[in-house]
Amino acid sequence: PIGRTLMVHVVPFSEDMLLLMSEDITQGERLQTMRRDFVANVSHEMRTPLTVVAGFLETVIDGLDDLEKDDISHYLGLAHEQAGRMQRLIQDLLTLSALESDAPILQEEAVDVASLLKEVLQEARVVSAGRHRIDLDCATHARLLGNAKELYSAMANLAINAVRYTPEGGRIQISWRQRGSVVEYAVKDDGIGIAPEHIPRLTERFYRVDRGRSRETGGTGLGLAIVKHVLSRHQGDLLIDSEPGRGSTFTACFPARRLVA
């Protein structure tokens, strides 16, 4: 087929015959390109905050004799913020690599949905710091079979994104519903929304609609990649419905057979 890369091997077969063997290496090549892109992306993501940290530290070192105490603590504070960004990036990379290692879900248990979502709500409210109205609609005593830590990280990621991409005064609704054979965890916001052409690529590592904005809000660009992995390990799916300027709804769907009585 067109678009595939073939490697041809020429092997002497007998005195007067050569054997031609072709091998399809398309997949291997694609993996190598992905690996190269990934290393380039990670290096770039690390270099930016590191440059800022180095810059602020240099300013402090050079100005130790002349700078006011307040200025020194201002510069150190900024350096500290960037170090935090690097820590988050490394944490997300480690999470992603553990999820990709294909290990079976560790410690699968019956996770109490209501208390999991209460914690998600609390975390979203901490990140929002009172700037949004955030509600939780969850009238269930259901328990979902899965890994509590992974599920929390996926659900909290969606809720925190809603906070990050919704201007002050916006409304965020977190809900849990069962619809026939599917259970849905949905996070709806009335924030900036996403243009349709970006939606299919959002779960790629480091894909962002607006690089600058994501940086400003402290994002690593890995959140939705982590969400997608966690969901697929729980036979779940992610649906994204969004309109620029009106808001987004991110829905995680799980098969209802994962519910335990």
**Interface residues toward ligand ADP, by CB under 6 A:** 161-162, 165, 189, 191-192, 194, 202, 208-210, 214, 219-225, 248
d(C-alpha 190, C-alpha 151), whole Å: 24
Q: Are strands 247-255 and 182-189 parallel, antiparallel or unpaired?
A: antiparallel
Closest distance between ligand ADP and the C-beta of residue 200, in Å? 12
Amino acid letter, 260: V
Q: Which residue is nearest to ligand ADP (CB)?
A: 219
Residue 131 or 208 with smaller CB distance to ligand ADP: 208
**HSE-CB of 142 using CA atoms within 13 angstroms:** 19
Closest distance between ligand ADP and the C-beta of residue 166, in Å? 7
Residue 177 or 208 with smaller CB distance to ligand ADP: 208
Residue 127 or 225 with smaller CB distance to ligand ADP: 225
Closest distance between ligand ADP and the C-beta of residue 213, in Å? 7
Residue 146 or 170 with smaller CB distance to ligand ADP: 170
d(C-alpha 138, C-alpha 188), whole Å: 14
Please provide the DSSP assignment of 46-108 as one string.
Answer: HHHHHHHHHHHHHHHHHTTTTS-HHHHHHHHHHHHHHHHHHHHHHHHHHHHHHHHT-PPPSS-
Closest distance between ligand ADP and the C-beta of residue 127, in Å? 12
Closest distance between ligand ADP and the C-beta of residue 206, in Å? 8
Closest distance between ligand ADP and the C-beta of residue 31, in Å? 22
Residue 118 or 213 with smaller CB distance to ligand ADP: 213
Residue 145 or 224 with smaller CB distance to ligand ADP: 224
Closest distance between ligand ADP and the C-beta of residue 6, in Å? 36
Residue 59 or 217 with smaller CB distance to ligand ADP: 217
Handedness of CA 125, 130, 132, 136 (dihedral sign): positive
**Is the distance from CB of 113 to CB of 142 less than 8 angstroms?**
yes
Angle at 126 between CA 123 and CA 130, to 5 degrees: 135
Helices 113-128 and 148-164, packing angle to 10 deg: 30
